[in-house]
């Protein structure tokens, strides 16, 4: 350490911190600290917000230097004090006056007592750290990486316990007891009622909490850096204001609901107003229908007739909101739970409701089909009702709403291959609820399976309704067979299965999503490759394209609604975590401050003009990128395909390609 200019033997202008300094926080040291910081910045490229941490390290080094001087020059081999002269080696840093003052402080009984106490405490800690030179920071990062966790940090008591696990993997009983006490405290503490400023770990250890650090997080981590703030108990006035705001919000919602009701049924008579569940998108009167359920998967469970009449009642009672009266003729899943159990007959299962009337959600009713009394299935058809639950497609409920909308509209005559496919379908058992299986090679998504397509999937192509995951996957096989294979593009492009990577799966099964995508990425780590992920948001079945280059750690975001990735934070978090996991498995070293430097590019792609075309746009985005043979997508999209929106002919091109491909596969 540098000596102060008044004590320095040569009387130069050096400003430094004397070894006799007992209080590193002394404001008289500010000038010296500024000098130390300027020297650090002169030698290292370091951010200004790390100043406090670096100066704390400097204070720690000063204490270590004083300990070194005492041990080396003021004590003999037996630890007895020695009245030594100023070492010539440090004569340029320490003045004679400083040295004498330093020695005199080391002779006092007060210093000896404090030194002995600290020595005993350091030599036998109650809960010794057992990870050697691996600090808390690297230990935390290794645990998160090993567990493929989407979290950015661990609770302090969890990290504290892991730091005390030996190489044999055993945990001492006293350490385990403290950890369990922390777990109990974390579940019992109510934030607003908590008046203890100590952390959970400090309470469990029953020790005071010191300012400037976070126990169980390692040196350099402070409460300020972690934004740990004690929650203030709200006053009665604040609680009253919150309550009034909630009341106003509820009142506004009620008014809005009443306005919607008035707008939707303002032309009905008083008699007609008995039933407000009349649906103009479903033919008025009695129509044959298929009945669907959305949980645990979207599937057809029965057939019957829907009664869409104004003033319709169910067992003399009004129908539940958003539902219509249906008569159940056939139960394909007799054990399926009714959406609205029948209070009159006590029926709770679909099989118990055969021959009676029940209420059924409107968006789960598909009308316009005949209701046969027996199956017309052919040998090559697979009845949807006997299809395994694992193979049935799980699709968000709102996604099928658009399918039901088409039933009230006049169907347009399809052309060319769509006309041919339409003719084929009329001669098959597809309309009876059977499906066709589209073989998926393991190279497409990383595993072999058969994609089932039912009548609702074929109708989406023929009559331009919102696309399901089955149609999306089928078109990706078309791209793989017709574009990637013949042009050798499979070395530069690949697909991720949207069924395994939609928003619902990311929220419910994040570990399974990460494992699947990481395995796909790690299979091609020796070259740059672009992975297409058609992403289903789950909030209405919206489709968008996420194209990931794990080699360059770039993510291209193409949304035909022109949103950005902040709309779906769970998706971004999972993708970032996956890229970081791949980086760790590839053993790529990145500075900790740049660990989250993953580039997200929002592409100004063509924009859809309705609430149906998102799936078709997503498919065109993939096709056009493959045709350009580019693993980078410009922010303003490709010049060759740039437009405000896709024309009808461009979208029909997708449907024609799908129809021709399905016919060529000879699965009908």
CA 568, 571, 573 angle in degrees (round to 5)?
110
Quote the CA–CA distance of 344 and 52 in Å, as a whole number. 73
What is the signed CA dihedral for 261, 264, 267, 272, rounded to 10 degrees? -70
Burial track 391-424 (b if 16+ CB lie within 10 A, e otherwise): ebbbbbbebbbbbbbbbeeeeeebeebbeebbee
Query: pLDDT value at position 378?
Result: 38
Query: pLDDT value at position 509?
Result: 87
Query: pLDDT value at position 129?
Result: 80
Q: Write phi, then psi, for 212 (nearest 5 degrees).
A: 85, 5
Quote the CA–CA distance of 156 and 449 in Å, as a whole number. 44
Residue 231 token pair: 């929650």
The tokens 């809960």 sit on which residue?
Answer: 127
Section 181-188 average pLDDT:
71
Section 427-437 average pLDDT:
83
- Assess contact for 586 and 566: CB atoms under 8 A: no
Quote the CA–CA distance of 288 and 329 in Å, as a whole number. 10
Query: pLDDT value at position 519?
Result: 92
Q: Are strands 599-602 and 554-558 parallel, antiparallel or unpaired?
A: parallel
Query: pLDDT value at position 443?
Result: 93
Distances, alpha carbon 326 to alpha carbons 198, 279, 372, in Å:
61, 13, 16
User: Higher pLDDT residue, 658 or 24?
Assistant: 658
Closest listed residue to residue 14, CA positions, set 30, 28, 31: 31
In the structure, what pLDDT confidence band is assigned to residue 401 with cuts at 50, 70 and 90? very low
CA 180, 185, 187 angle in degrees (round to 5)?
100
pTM (predicted TM-score): 0.44
- Assess contact for 418 and 461: CB atoms under 8 A: yes
Residue 187 token pair: 């579940």
Q: Is 418 left (phi over 0), alpha (psi -120 to 50) or beta?
A: alpha
User: Higher pLDDT residue, 118 or 495?
Assistant: 495
DSSP code of 8?
-
DSSP-assigned letters across all residues of 27-81: GGGHHHHHHHHHHHHHHS---GGGHHHHHHHHHHHHHHHHHHHHHHHSB-TT--B
Is the previous residue joined to 296 through a cis bond, with omega within 30 degrees of 0?
Answer: yes
Q: pLDDT at residue 607 above 80?
A: yes
Quote the CA–CA distance of 485 and 420 in Å, as a whole number. 26
End-to-end CA distance of the chain: 85
pLDDT 10s digits, 307-334: 887 767 887 788 888 888 888 888 888 8
- CB-based contacts of 609, cutoff 8 Å, min separation 6: 645
Section 184-195 average pLDDT:
58
Residue 264 token pair: 């939707």
Closest listed residue to residue 350, CA positions, set 338, 358, 363: 338
What is the signed CA dihedral for 435, 437, 438, 440, rounded to 10 degrees? 140
User: Higher pLDDT residue, 309 or 1?
Assistant: 309
pLDDT 10s digits, 220-235: 666 665 554 445 556 6
Residue 324 token pair: 């219509």
């Amino acid at each position: 350490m540098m000596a102060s200019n008044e004590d320095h033997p040569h009387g130069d202008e050096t400003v430094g911190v004397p070894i006799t300094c007992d209080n590193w926080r002394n404001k008289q040291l500010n000038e010296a600290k500024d000098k130390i910081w300027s020297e650090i910045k002169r030698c290292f490229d370091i951010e200004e917000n790390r100043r406090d941490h670096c100066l704390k390290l400097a204070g720690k080094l000063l204490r270590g230097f004083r300990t070194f001087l005492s041990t080396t020059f003021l004590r003999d081999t037996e630890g007895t004090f020695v009245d030594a002269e100023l070492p010539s080696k440090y004569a340029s840093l320490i003045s004679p006056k400083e040295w004498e003052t330093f020695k005199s402080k080391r002779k006092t009984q007060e210093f000896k007592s404090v030194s002995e106490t600290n020595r005993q405490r350091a030599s036998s800690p109650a809960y010794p750290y057992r990870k050697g030179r691996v600090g808390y920071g690297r230990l935390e990062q290794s645990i998160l990486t090993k567990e493929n966790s989407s979290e950015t940090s661990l609770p302090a008591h969890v990290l504290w316990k892991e730091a005390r696990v030996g190489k044999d993997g055993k945990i001492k009983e006293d350490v385990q007891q403290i950890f369990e006490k922390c777990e109990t405290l974390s579940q019992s503490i109510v934030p607003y009622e908590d008046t203890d400023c100590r952390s959970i770990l400090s309470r469990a250890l029953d020790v005071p909490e010191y300012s400037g650090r976070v126990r169980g997080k390692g040196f350099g981590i402070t409460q300020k850096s972690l934004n740990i703030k004690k929650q203030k108990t709200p006053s009665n006035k604040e609680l009253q204001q919150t309550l009034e705001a909630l009341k106003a919000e509820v009142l506004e919602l009620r008014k809005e609901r009443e306005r919607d009701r008035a707008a939707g049924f303002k032309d009905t008579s008083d008699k007609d107003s008995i039933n407000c569940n009349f649906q103009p998108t479903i033919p008025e009167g009695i129509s044959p229908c298929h009945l669907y359920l959305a949980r645990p998967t979207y599937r057809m469970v029965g057939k019957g007739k829907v009664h869409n009449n104004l003033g319709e009642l169910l067992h003399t009672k009004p129908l539940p909101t958003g539902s219509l009266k249906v008569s159940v003729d056939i139960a394909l899943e007799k054990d399926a739970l009714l959406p609205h159990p029948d209070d009159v007959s006590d029926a709770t299962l679909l099989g118990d409701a055969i021959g009676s009337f029940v209420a059924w959600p409107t968006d789960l009713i598909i009308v316009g089909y005949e209701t046969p009394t027996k199956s017309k299935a052919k040998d090559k058809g697979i009845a949807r009702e006997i299809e395994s639950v694992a193979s049935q497609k799980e699709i968000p409920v709102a996604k099928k709403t658009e399918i039901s909308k088409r039933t009230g509209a006049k169907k347009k005559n399809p052309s060319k291959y769509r006309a041919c496919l339409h003719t084929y379908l009329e001669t098959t058992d597809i309309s009876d609820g059977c499906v066709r299986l589209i073989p998926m090679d393991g190279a497409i998504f990383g595993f072999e399976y058969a994609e089932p397509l039912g009548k609702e999937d074929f109708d989406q192509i023929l009559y331009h309704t919102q696309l399901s995951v089955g149609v999306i996957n089928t078109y990706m096989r078309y791209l793989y067979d017709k574009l990637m294979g013949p042009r050798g593009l499979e070395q530069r492009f690949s697909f991720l299965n949207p069924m395994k990577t939609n928003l619902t799966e990311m929220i419910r099964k994040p570990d399974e999503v990460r494992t699947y995508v990481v395995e796909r990425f790690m299979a091609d780590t020796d070259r740059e490759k672009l992975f297409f992920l058609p992403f289903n948001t789950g909030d209405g079945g919206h489709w968008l394209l996420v194209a990931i280059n794990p080699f360059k750690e770039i993510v291209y975001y193409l949304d035909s609604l022109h949103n950005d990735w902040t709309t779906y934070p769970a998706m971004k978090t999972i993708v970032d975590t996956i890229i970081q996991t791949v980086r760790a498995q590839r053993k790529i070293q990145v500075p900790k401050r740049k660990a989250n430097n993953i580039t997200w590019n929002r592409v100004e792609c063509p924009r859809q003009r309705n609430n149906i075309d998102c799936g078709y746009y997503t498919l065109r985005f993939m096709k056009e990128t493959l045709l350009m043979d580019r693993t980078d997508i410009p922010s303003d999209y490709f010049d060759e395909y740039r437009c405000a929106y896709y024309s009808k002919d461009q979208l029909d091109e997708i449907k024609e390609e799908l129809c021709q491909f399905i016919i060529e596969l000879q699965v009908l």
